[in-house]
Amino acid sequence: MKLRLSEIFRRNPYRPVRPRQRLAIVGVTLFTVVMLFSGLFAPHLRYLKFKIESRHPPLPPCAPGQTTGCLGGTQGVMLIPATPATPATPAVPASR
């Protein structure tokens, strides 16, 4: 069948999509969405998996009298002694 130019313009270019075509379009769209999201989230999921696997085991709770190497222990802090406050010099009124 030959297609003439006059027939092209007489046809309806906006004919409805058949159900099979619609199903194919929806399938390709869903596949594309799944592939995009998996590609975007894969690096973050690998990072989270690495963070979970590299955690240290939890510390045991402190026994009575234990202060270091346990959960709830104390850390010794060294402080520099404060210097004594110097007395302020009395303010001399400015002479005229």
Per-residue pLDDT tens digits for 58-71: 778 888 888 777 77
Write out pLDDT tens, residues 75-92. 777 788 877 777 667 666
Count of structural domains, the chain? 1
Taking the model in full, what pTM does it have?
Answer: 0.42
Q: How far is CA 68 from CA 6, 40, 61, 64, 74, in A?
A: 92, 44, 10, 11, 6
DSSP codes joined into one string, 56-74: PPPPPBPPTT--SSSBT--
> How does DSSP classify residue 61?
B
Domain coverage including residue 15: 5-53
Backbone angles phi, psi at 15, to 5 degrees: -70, 150
Residue 22 maps to a domain = yes
Residue 77 maps to a domain = no
> How does DSSP classify residue 4?
P
